[in-house]
Each structure stands twice: as C-alpha cells, then as structure tokens.
A and B are shown apart, each in its own frame.
Chain A
C-alpha cells in the first residue's frame, strides 16, 4: 500500500482500552472509515490506555508514565485518531498540562496537536461529507461530555449520520447531559451514577428511537447496562459501527454471538 500512494496521510489508531477489550468492532469500523477518508492506518501494538483512570484519580505519576509511552508510540504519525471523545480529549487537551514546565512540554504539545477524535477527524480534518452506509431505522445520539465540551464534537457525528441511507435521527431531551459514567465515578459513587443514568435512560426511551448511538464506549456500556437491566430493548452501538456499515452483529451487551 505504502509504496503505491506514498502521499497518503499516515494515521496511528489509538484504539482505546475499552474498545480493545470490549468492542473490537468499533476499532475495525474506525479503521474502515479512516481508510475511506483517504488515509493509511496503522495500529501500534505498544498501546494500552490513555491514562485517564490514573489522571482523574489524582495519580499523576502513573498518568505521566503512561502518557510518555503513548507519546513515544504515536509521535511519528501524521495524525493520531481515537474513537472516543474522552480519550482523544485526554491526549489532546490534558497531556500538555501533564508536562507543563517539564522537558517534555514541547514534545507533548507537538503530539497533542495531531490527535483527533474519530468523527471530528473525518469531518474537520479530512473534509468527509458523507459515508456510504445504510441503516434502516431510528437512532438517537448521546453527546458524551468530554468530546462535546473539550473538543466541540456535536455537529460532526450528526452530519455524517444524516448521510446514512434509511437512518432517522430522533433527538432525545438533554442529549448533552452527562450519562453518569464518569470513569471510576460510576463505581465509586454507584448510587449517584445510577440516578443519573436512570434519568438518561428515561430520555432515551422517550425519544422512541430503536437504537442509541454515541462516540464513547464507556458511556455506551453504562447506558446499555442500565437499559438492559431495566429490560429496555433499545439497541446500543458506537456511532462508528453505523457509519462504517458494520452494524449487523449483536449490539453492545447483546448475546447470540
């Protein structure tokens, strides 16, 4: 591939730990979309996690160590793309803060400037206007917090979704309100988290959509877990699965594999 079209941008896929472990389909969907956008995708094996669990728990030392490894692994790519607003936000907005005043400051800044969340990369960087996928049915889209407020992701996924054949977007009430996931928050303060996700589940149900989409697997697992515990039949998928036309397998938390 490389020899044929050497001018293609080289993209390092930061697959994110949750996608790697729980939902590989999202990784393959991301690869497909980024390739369709005209890039060459590589997936370095030395990746683990962006370090948010440490960073958000006040464990700066581990966060810095993980960030160093990530930067070393990815800094040679033209772009680094992650199918998650929260991990992309960590790489793009918080890594520079971790190395402020440090010998790595400039290196971290150079790395961070090349990091993008998937849908934002496709639309804002590669100028993608439509995808060639079909999905017959109604969906509703949840704006995950970090992507929305740190990276300004709201229009990009909706824009691409509007090009999916047969898809009807039914906005839910308070789509931009937190689902209660919050990383380790949902375990440390599970009762409060539960109250917040119940609220979210009610809004999802009220939208009448058959499928719930979002751009962050953590939030998706939280919402899917709640909907399924409630016996709600709404199906839950990462937005990339639909955009890539890779939505024929079981949805998140569905059996029968």
Chain B
C-alpha cells in the first residue's frame, strides 16, 4: 500500500472538501459513541474489567518470548505449523509458498488489518492468485479498489448511495427493482456471490484477535460469520497475526472479550467468536486439512522496552478513532497508511518511521478523549507527545516552527525579559484592536485568522495592572 502520510495536510484538505465523505463521517459520530456508552453504563464492572485487561496484556508483553514459544508448541502439538515472519516481506513470501503448495488460484479472506499492513492482496494478485474479501465492508472496499478507512468498519467513509452504486456496477445481473438500500439486503446480495467463492477457494486467510498460549488457539470475532466459513471450508487455513496478539489463557481471552465488543460497537459480544486450534481432527465434522500461523513482528519487538510498549496492548477496537474529533473531521484515509486515528498516530510512526508519519502524532488537539475510552488504558496522547519529542530532537519538524518555538521559549524562560517585551507589545496591540475588539487579519497570525477572528488584548497586561494596583495599595497604607 502506498504511503501518503507525509501528505497528511493535503489529504486532510481533500477530505474536508469531499461532501460524500463528510456525510458518511457523520455516521461515525452517531453510530458508535452512544452505543458504546450504553453498553458501558450497563456493565458496572466495566472499569474493573479494563484494569484487568490491561494487566493481562502487560503481563503477556513482559513475557512475550515465553508465551510465544508456548503457543508455538501447542500449535505444533495440534498438528499445525508456525511461521515466524520478522518483516512484511517475509510474511508475504511464506503465505505465497503455502498458497503455491496448495495449488491455490483463489483465496478467501476474513477481515484482517495485518494483511493490509503487509499489502497481501496486491501481492497475491501480482502472483496470479485471486484474493476474495468476505467481510461485507472489506468486500465493498475491494469492489472499489480502495483500502479500509477504519480498523473495524472498513467502509465507514462511504455513503449508502455510493455503496449501492458499486453493487449495481459489480453485480450487473441484478434487476433494478432489487432493493439494495439497507445493509441487510447488501449483505444478502454479497453472500450470494461469495457462497460459490468459499467453495472455489483452496486457501482461507484470517487474522486473529487473540492467540492463546495455553491451547495454541487463534480467536476471531465477527458479526457476519464470514470468518467461520473462510477458515472451515477451504482445504488450508492460514492465520496471519502479529506477535502482540498473544494472551496466556482462554480465561484471559474471555476477560478481554468482555471489553472488546462493548468498546467497538457497543455489543455485549460480537455475534461470532470463533476459536480454531490446529487442522481438522479425527471425527471433526469440518475444518481445514492444513493449519498455518504466520507470526508477524514487523517492528513490534523493537517497541518493547521503549516508551511505546504500551501501544502493544491495543486490541483494535476502534474506540479511539470513533471518539476522535480529528478522525471525525477527516476520516481514516487522510492518515495515509493502514492505521488511522489516535492508535494510528502512535503505531504508524513505529512501523513506517516517524520521518514519514511525522504529521500523525502532531495532528491531535490532545483532547484526551481517546485515552478516556480506550479499553486497554493506552496513554495515546502521552505517546504522541513522545513522538513529537523524537521529531524535535531529530530536527524533523519544519524550521519555521522550530525557530518560532525557540524564540518564544527564549523569552518564556526569562521572566524579566518576557515582562518587558509583553509590557511593550500588548498595549499597542490592545490599542490597535480597541474599536472592533478583534482582528480579522494580523501579520504572522494567518494560521489563526484564516478561519476565525483574533480577539484583541483587553488592555495592558494583567501583571502591569496588578503591579500598579499593588503600588497604589502600598502608598495608601499608613
């Protein structure tokens, strides 16, 4: 996937000027926030669950190597294969090898951000293998040749009309009278097309919400059941997951599940929670003949032990972006790579480099709503600030900004000099703005006055006036 994060500002401007997108983004504001709040309010122990979810992940991360090895053992014992992929390229190569060995021409896919991260679809297509997305949102995105704009609702940037038009274009056998105005009818229509694909596919690829060390299981949650079909029907099932998905036990997994769906969609549980452990066993009614797990690192182990380690607790619920005013304004594509919103602003620089993703941690008001709703208590604003610190110390932010900041800090660090400067400047500015009380334009304040007036200083500074008042009081004393 092409990285456009360096052009975040231009992306954002385009997004703000796109009426369809703006209309669709209205649904993010309406669709997620109230539902999450209701689900949270209905569960008195929600906050306690968050604490324990955090503790589980912190523990797993502190012993990541041990749990990964234990997991590998269990997968092998169940008859599956584990492939360690340090980089995206390694992961792609392994997956291709598996597909080739299976003689695959078509692969079905469950929803997976990791396969987005490694650019799997484009790669497979180039190698002559057809990937078929089976999640409705992903399916729509694939019809359009786009990428997801949200980690749990990939097509959230589209309006219903746009989606209907895409369906009519792709499913051109449909009578015009067929109703495609509701998600349910779209899903039914997609299912009809997908059914044959499930049987044609030689390989099914899914992500994983959790990897359970105790049992060697991978767990996915979906609302459409497409994940089940993707992993049960083809002959070969490939799980692609990043290393931080590991949790020690089934009990741990089910604890975190209790905060996941509530935070994501406001459901108590997702409709389907699918646990898969190895290939089909004797007597199993269904299941794949081969079971592979591709464990992707891709920069994550380098986050361990740094100020960004907490980010590895993320369970990809999407609550942070659902509550983010910046995401609401520009949507997910503006962020320019796979992961948008506050979690993307922290994770993306780790994965593709802060030199490319530098805008992302800066494009935040630090309103803190993301951290307030994050079920894993990830201190997102703090980590964005850490990125800003790294950028600043490496001199990556624009020169004008740096000089401006240093000049301001020069005074702010020297109270006497600062006092002198503002005592001269403020009264002048105040006098200039006396009549209207504000400025429509002011030299050097273009960033502010482009969109809003700048209130003029009321008078002399507070401290000037206070000093005079104090002096007068002293004099008045006997």
A residues at B contact (CB < 8 Å)? 15, 17, 19-25, 27-28, 43, 45-49, 51, 53-60, 62, 65-66, 69, 73, 97, 145-146, 149-150, 177-178, 180-183, 185-197, 199, 221-222, 224-226, 228-229, 249-250, 252-257
Contact = CB atoms under 8 A, between A and B. Distances in A.
B16 A48 contact: no
Contacts of A66: 409, 412-413
Interface in B394-412: 397, 401, 405-406, 408-409, 411-412
Given A188-B362, A229-B452, A45 B467 contact: yes
A254 B434 CA distance: 9
A58 B388 contact: yes
A69 B417 CA distance: 14
Given A58-B388, A188-B401, 6 more contacts: A53-B412, A58-B389, A69-B415, A193-B451, A194-B450, A196-B365
B19 to A, nearest CB: 13
B418 interface: yes
Contacts of B457: 21-23
A55 B384 CA distance: 12
Interface string B328-343: 1110000000000000
Nearest to B361: A58
Contacts of A224: 438, 453, 455
A238 to B, nearest CB: 11
A199 B461 CA distance: 32
The 9 closest A-B pairs by CB, nearest first: A182-B365, A225-B452, A58-B388, A187-B447, A58-B392, A255-B437, A178-B367, A62-B409, A24-B462
B462 A20 contact: yes
B405 A54 contact: yes
Interface string B439-462: 010000001101111111111111
B250 interface: no
Interface centre among A57, A186, A224 (most CB of B within 10 A): A57
26 contacts: A15-B462, A24-B460, A54-B405, A57-B388, A57-B397, A58-B391, A59-B406, A145-B368, A149-B367, A149-B371, A150-B368, A178-B367, A182-B366, A185-B366, A187-B447, A188-B447, A189-B362, A193-B365, A196-B365, A225-B448, A225-B455, A226-B452, A253-B453, A255-B433, A257-B437, A257-B459
Interface centre among B366, B369, B418, B434 (most CB of A within 10 A): B366
Interface centre among B364, B418, B448, B463 (most CB of A within 10 A): B463
A244 B326 CA distance: 35
B418 A255 contact: no
B412 A149 contact: no
Interface residues on B, range: 35 or more
Contact of B458 (A25, A145, A188, A229): A25
Contacts of A254: 437-438
A255 B434 contact: yes
B466 A43 contact: yes
A59 B453 contact: no
A191 to B, nearest CB: 6
B225 to A, nearest CB: 35
A221 B405 contact: no
A53 B406 CA distance: 10
A185 B329 contact: no
B16 A195 contact: yes
A237 to B, nearest CB: 11
Nearest to B467: A45
A240 to B, nearest CB: 12
Interface of B: 9, 12-13, 16, 325-326, 328-330, 362-369, 371-372, 382, 385, 387-393, 397, 401, 405-406, 408-409, 411-413, 415-416, 418-419, 422, 426, 433-438, 440, 447-448, 450-463, 465-467
A59 to B, nearest CB: 5
A252 B467 CA distance: 23
- Please classify the interface of chain A as helix (H, G, I), strand (E, B), loop, or mixed, using the class held by over half of its residues: helix
Contact of B462 (A28, A51, A178, A186): A28
Contacts of B412: 17, 48-49, 51, 53-54, 62, 66
B361 to A, nearest CB: 9
Contacts of B466: 27, 43
Nearest to A178: B367
Contacts of B454: 221, 225
Nearest to B454: A225
Contacts of A49: 412
Contacts of B453: 224-225, 228-229, 253
A185 to B, nearest CB: 5
A103 B447 CA distance: 39
A145 B371 CA distance: 12
Contact of A55 (B371, B385, B456, B463): B385
A56 B455 contact: no
Interface centre among A47, A54, A60, A253 (most CB of B within 10 A): A253
A48 B363 contact: no
Contact of A253 (B330, B390, B456): B456
A197 B364 CA distance: 14
Contact of A250 (B365, B369, B372, B437): B437
Contacts of B437: 250, 253-257
Contact of B365 (A19, A22, A145): A145
A226 B459 contact: no
Contacts of A177: 325, 367, 369
A20 B422 contact: yes
A24 B458 contact: yes
